[in-house]
A and B are shown apart, each in its own frame.
Chain A
C-alpha cells in the first residue's frame, strides 16, 4: 500500500512512467515487419529479417528486413537517380526541405523520444531533452547551410551519393549528424541503421515522406555488418561516413582504399576527465555523472578516465561515491531514472568482461550499496561502477568499455595530467575542470583530442565541429568543417587521370648518356634534421633529364631513412609552438632566397625538360606560392562559435605536427612547394618525398632551407621510389597525416596501409591538378587539410 502517510515517511519518488501507447500502436500496426525505405517508399518485407528487442525487458518490438545486395543496389540507384534533380535545386529550395524536416521532427518529438527509448534503452529524459532536440537543431542549422552553400563554399560541388553507417548509441542523433549536412550540401543518401536500433531511422523515413522530401533523396537500408559492407563497397557511392568502433573504422578504411570515395570516421574513445585541485569539486562530480553515466556510458566521447590531482583525490572519490548512491537505474521510460538499459545482452557481456579484467589487474572496484538490486534477469542493466587505483597502463585505462564504468587515476602536476591524458591511441574528447582558466586553457591546448570541454562535458551543437584526433578517426561533424566533408572542389570532377607510378629500376651502375659530362661530381643526399645525409641503403638512382640525358644520381631512400626523418620531425616540435607570425617571417625569407637563385632553379628545371619560359614561370610561381602561405601563416587559426549564452566554442586549427607528403612527379619544384609550404605554414613538420622522376629541384632546395632560418627537422626530404616510401609512411604510426599526390594505385596503397593508426590521408586518387592554376594549386583547400580542428568549449560567468 502506498498511502499518503506511508509516502510521507519514506518520501520516495514512486513510479513515473512515460505513456508509450501511441508508439506501441504504431509498432502493432507494423506486425508484418519493416522493410527498407527506397525511392520514397517502404519495400515489402522479404527474405531474411531480424528481430528488434526492447533492452529493458527483452520484449520483441518489431521484425526488420535485412538488406541484401539487391536492396543496397536499388537504394544506391534510387539515390543516384534523385541526385541530379536534388543537386540542381537552388540553395533556398533545399533549405525549405531541411527546414520542413526540422519542423516535422519537432512535431513528432515525443513519438520519436519514446520510440528511441523503447528501442535503445536510454532514458526518456535523455531522448526527450537531449537526443530529439539536438536532432531538430541539426536540421535547422543545416537548413541554413543549404541556403548558404554557394556563397559559403564557392567552387564546390556536392560529393554525390553518400553511404552512411550509424551506431546504436544515438540512433536518431547520429542519423541527423549524417543526413543533415549531406542533404544541405546537395548530396543524396543511403543510410544503414544500426542492427540493434533501426526503429527511429524507420520513423524518420516516414517523416521524410510526410515532409515531402523528394523520393530517393533519403534512402534507408537495415541490417548488420554485412549490409554495411555492401554499402561501403558499393561503386555507386562517392562518400562514406561512419560512426562506430575503431575496429570497424579500420575495416572500412581498408575496404574503401583507392575507391576515390571520401571518407569520414568518427570512432572510439577513452576520453580523459581531468580534475585539478582548484576545481569546483561538486561541479566536477556532476560532470562525471554527465560524462560516464550519460546514456549508460555508451558514448564514444564518454569521460571514462578520471585523472584527478593527487591531493584532492580522496575527497573527490568520497564525494563521487556519495553521488553514485543517489543515481537511479531502471525502467528507461520512467521519468525519474538516471540510467536506463544497456543496448543488448551482448553489450552487458562485454562490459562485464572488461570489469572482470580490471579487478584481475588489481584495481579497486566500487559500486553503490544498491548495486545488487540491479538485475539482468529480464533486461540489460548495469550499475554505475567506479574503479580507483587504476594504472595508466591497465586495460581499464587503455580500452574502451562503452558502459557505465569510470576508471580513476591520479596526477601530480598539470604537465603530468596532460601526459596521462594523451597516453592513449584515442583522441576524441577531453574534459578539464579547474577554476583557473590559465590552467584549463593550457591543458586544452596541449591535449590531443578533437573536442575539449572546459568545466563541462558532453555538450554538442550543430554549429560546433565534433570529431577525433588519432585513432578516434578523422573528419568533423557539425559546423562549417562538417559541411566540407560532403563537398568537393568542382575542378576535381573533370580532372585528368594521372599516370600510374613507375617503380624505380634496380639500383645498379649503368651506362647512361650524358654521364661523361665533366665538372666536379655532385653527391645528392637526403635532407634529414637540417643536415644532408647519405641514404641508409647506400644505393643511389639515376635521374635523367631532357632526351634521357643523365643528370645526377640521387640517394635511394628506404624505410630506415623514413624512420629517421620522422624522428627528426618529432624533435622539431618548437616549430609547431611558434606563432603564425614567426613562421610567416621564415616563409617570406624562403621566398626571398628562392628568388635570389631564380636563374639557377630555372636552369635546373630546364635541364629536367621544361622549356626556358616554362621553367622561369615555375620558379616565379613557386616564389609566389611561398608568399601565399607566408600570408596565410598567421591568419588561418580558427573560428569562434557561440552555441549558448555565456559559452564560446573555439574551433582551433591545430597542426597534425608530423606529416608525410608524397609529391607529384609533374611540376617538380612548384608541386613540392605547393604541398610543403601550406603544411609548414600551419605548424606541421614534414617528411617529404619529392618528385621521383625529377627530384633535383627539391634537393637544390636544401640550401634555400638552410639559408632561410628553417629549423632543422621541419622539412625532411627523402628521395627515392615514391610508392615504396609512401608505403612506409602510411605504415608509420607516428605520422598523423599523409598527403599523397600520385597515381590511383598508390592512392589505394596509402589509404589501405594508413588503417594501422588511422592517419588522415589526403590523396589525389590518381587525378591530376594544374599546379599553375591558383584555384587548384593553392588556397584554403590545402590549409584545411594541413590542420585538424579542435573545438574547445569554454563556458564562463560569475
Chain B
C-alpha cells in the first residue's frame, strides 16, 4: 500500500484546522485585533501533556535520504543567521552576510541539483548599529536584514527610547525588527499594558515586519507563554519569537508547541496568520528537523517557509552543512570543510 503521499496531500489541503483562510503567496500581514481577553484569559496549558506531545513529535515522524536533504535545505532557508555580540564589527557582519548569501558549499549545492535555485538564509539578524553594514553587504541578494531593537535583550529602557530605536533601525534599512516585550507586564498579569506596548512598537515598525520576542525562559509557565503570545498577536506582531538567546533557557519544544498552538487558535478566531521563530539553543540538525516537524504537524506546510517560520541561530548552519555532506556522500564531515561565517 502506498498511500502516504496521498494522505499527506489530502491532509494538508485542510492543513491548519481552519477553513477560514486560503493562504495566498502575497499574504496579508497580521493587522492585529482589538484587545480581546476572551482569547486567552482562561487558558491553562497542561505541562505534562505538552511534554508528552513534544516527546513523540520526532518519534512519530522522520525524514530520510532525499527527503532529509531537502528538509535540511529548507532549514537553511529559514535561518536568521545571527550575530548579537558586544564585539560585533562591520567586518564580522560582512562575513556573516557573505555566508548568508552563500550558505552551502558550491559542490554540495550542485550535488543537490540546486545550482539555479536561489539558496540563502532567511535573513541576517544584527544590532541596530550594524544594520547599515548588513544592508550594504546584502544588496541584491534578496536576503532581508533583521535588527533587534527596544532595549534588547531586557527591554527595560524608557518607552520613547525603545520606539526611537525601532525607528532608527528601520531608517537604516532594516526589513524586520525583533522587539522584546516587557516581561514584567506578563509576570504581573498586566495584559492591557502589554497589548498597548506591542501596538505602539508595531506602529513604529511601519512597513518593517515585527517579531515579538517573549523571552519565554523568563515567563516560566506555559500558560504565561500562551497568553503573552496571544496578546502580542492581537497587538499586531508578524512573528512571535521565543527568546533573545540571552535567557537562561531559550527555545524549547514545549514552549514552541504552546506558541504554535496560540498561532493556530489566533488564526481560527481571527483568520489572520502569524509566523513563529524559535531562537537560542537550536544547534543541531536533529533539533532543526524536530522544529520543522512541529510546524508541519501543528500548523501545516505554509509554516515550513521563511515567510512564516525562522530559526534564530548562529551555530545551526554549520551542523546542517556537515549533515548535508554526509547525506550526499555517506561520509561524516568536519567543520573545516565548510566555509565559516
- Distance in angstroms from B35 CB to nearest chain A CB is 22
Is A4's CB under 8 angstroms from B70's CB?
Answer: yes
Please tell me if B157 contacts chain A, counting CB pairs below 8 Å.
Answer: no
**Binding site secondary structure of chain B:** helix
B66 lies within 8 A of A7 (CB): yes
The answer to whether B66 touches A4, judged by C-beta atoms less than 8 angstroms apart, is yes
Among B6, B18, B44, the residue within 8 A (CB) of A280 is: B44
Interface stretch of the complex, out of B55-63, B159-167, B193-201, B274-282: B55-63
Cβ of A2 within 8 Å of any chain B Cβ, yes or no, is yes
A373→B10 CA distance, assembly (Å): 10
Contact A13 B3 (CB under 8 A): no
Contact yes or no, A378 B1, CB < 8 A: yes
Q: Are the C-beta atoms of B3 and A125 separated by less than 8 Å?
A: no
Considering residues A10, A57, A283, A456, which has the most beta carbons from chain B within 10 angstroms of its beta carbon? A283
Question: Given A7-B67, A8-B70, does the pair A325, B47 have CB atoms closer than 8 Å?
Answer: no
Are B11 and A13 closer than 8 Å at their CB atoms?
Answer: no
Q: Cβ of A71: which chain B residues have Cβ within 8 Å of it?
A: none
Q: B4 contacts which chain A residues (CB < 8 A)? A: 12-13, 15, 328, 330-331, 334, 336-337
Stretch at the interface among A193-201, A422-430, A493-501, A790-798: A790-798
In the complex, whether A746 has a CB less than 8 A from a CB of chain B is no
Contact B45 A283, beta carbon cutoff 8 Å:
yes
| Chain B residues closer than 8 Å to A377, beta-carbon distance | 1
Q: How far is the CA of A373 from the CA of B1 in the complex (A)?
A: 9
Closest to A331 in B: B1
Q: Which of B110-118, B126-134, B168-176, B315-323 contacts A (4 or more CB under 8 A)?
A: B110-118
Q: CB distance A125 to B60 under 8 Å?
A: yes
CA distance A10 to B113 in the complex (A): 16
- Taking a contact as CB atoms under 8 Å apart, the answer to whether A129 and B59 are in contact is yes
Within the complex, what minimum Cβ distance (angstroms) separates B137 from chain A?
Answer: 26
Q: Check: A89 CB closer than 8 A to any chain B CB.
A: no
Q: Would you call B44 and A435 a contact (CB within 8 A)?
A: yes
- B37 CB to nearest chain A CB (Å): 16
Indicate if the CB atoms of A336 and B62 lie closer than 8 Å. yes
Q: Is B8 an interface residue (CB 8 A)?
A: yes
A-side interface mostly:
loop
The answer for the CA separation of A646 and B5 in the assembled complex, in Å, is 39
Within 1-19 of A, Cβ neighbours of B (below 8 Å) are at 2-5, 7-8, 10-16
A14, A278, A334: the one contacting B67 at CB < 8 Å is: A14
A12, A16, A456 — most chain B CB neighbours (10 Å): A12
B48–A647 touching, CB < 8 Å = yes
Interface size on B, residues (CB 8 A): 58
Interchain nearest-CB distance for B125 vs A (Å): 23
Total CB contacts across the A-B interface at under 8 A: 169
| Known A11-B74, A336-B62, A369-B14: A456·B49 in contact at CB below 8 Å | yes
B49 & A286 in contact (Cβ 8 Å cutoff): yes
Known: A329-B3, A370-B6. A795 touches B48 (CB 8 A): yes
- Report chain B residues within 8 Å CB of A415: none
Cβ-based interface call for A226 (8 A)? no
B71: Cβ under 8 A from any A Cβ: yes
How far in angstroms is the closest Cβ of chain B from A641?
Answer: 16
Shortest Cβ gap from A341 to chain B (Å): 9
Closest B-chain residue to A646, C-beta based?
A: B48
Known: A13-B61, A14-B67, A336-B62. A370 touches B10 (CB 8 A): yes
A516 on interface, CB distance cutoff 8 Å? no
A8 touches B73 (CB 8 A): yes
Partner of A16, one of B10, B62, B117: B62
Which of A7, A57, A335, A798 has a CB less than 8 Å from the CB of B47? A798
Contact between B112 and A4, CB atoms less than 8 A apart = yes
- The answer to whether A492 has its CB under 8 Å from any CB of chain B is no
Give B116 Cβ to nearest chain A Cβ, in Å. Answer: 9
Q: Is A414 positioned at the interface, with any CB of B under 8 Å from its CB?
A: no
Write out, one digit per residue, whether chain B residues 281-317 have a CB within 8 A of any chain A CB (1) or not (0).
Answer: 0000000000010001100010010000000000000
Q: Are A280 and B45 in contact (CB under 8 A)?
A: yes
* A322 on the B face (CB < 8 A): yes
Closest B residue by C-beta to A318: B17
Please tell me if A216 contacts chain B, counting CB pairs below 8 Å: no
Q: B8's contact among A13, A278, A323, by CB below 8 Å, is which?
A: A13
Cα–Cα distance between A368 and B14 once the two chains are bound (Å): 10
Query: Chain A's nearest CB lies how many Å from the CB of B18?
Result: 8
Within 8 A of A (CB), among B34-50: 42, 44-50
Would you call B17 and A286 a contact (CB within 8 A)? Answer: no
The answer, yes or no, to whether B13 is at the interface (CB within 8 Å) is yes
Cross-chain contact A336 with B60 (CB below 8 angstroms):
yes
Residue in chain A with minimal CB distance to B16: A322
Distance in Å: Cβ of B271 to nearest Cβ of chain A: 15
One digit per residue, 1 when the CB lies within 8 angstroms of any chain A CB and 0 when it does not, for chain B 57-85 equals 00111111111011101100000000000
For the complex, give the distance between the alpha carbons of A319 and B47 in Å.
Answer: 19
Residue A31 interfacial (CB < 8 Å): no
Q: How far is the CA of A736 from the CA of B219 in the complex (A)?
A: 51
Contact between B49 and A3 (Cβ–Cβ < 8 Å)?
A: no
A646, B71: Cα distance in complex, Å: 35
Q: Does B52 contact A (CB under 8 A)?
A: yes
* A12-B8, A13-B67, A16-B63 as given contacts; A286 in contact with B53, CB under 8 Å: yes
* Minimum C-beta distance from A317 to chain B (A): 11
Q: Judge whether A328 and B8 touch: CB under 8 Å.
A: yes
Residue of B nearest to A283 (CB): B49
Report how far A165 CA is from B64 CA in the complex, Å: 40
**Is B59 a contact partner of A5 (Cβ separation < 8 A)?**
no
Chain B residues near A13 (CB-CB < 8 A): 4, 8, 61-63, 67
Q: A282 contacts which of B15, B66, B261 (Cβ < 8 Å)? A: B261
What are 23 A-B contacts with C-beta separation under 8 Å? A4-B114, A5-B113, A8-B117, A11-B304, A13-B67, A14-B65, A283-B49, A283-B50, A284-B49, A290-B52, A321-B17, A325-B15, A331-B4, A336-B61, A336-B63, A373-B3, A374-B7, A377-B1, A378-B1, A381-B1, A455-B46, A456-B49, A798-B223
Name A's B-contacting residues (CB within 8 A): 2-5, 7-8, 10-16, 56-57, 125, 129, 278-280, 282-284, 286-287, 290, 318-319, 321-323, 325-331, 334-338, 368-370, 373-375, 377-379, 381, 435, 455-456, 646-647, 795-798
Q: Which 9 A-B pairs have the closest CB atoms?
A: A322-B17, A14-B67, A283-B49, A7-B70, A370-B10, A795-B48, A435-B44, A797-B47, A280-B46
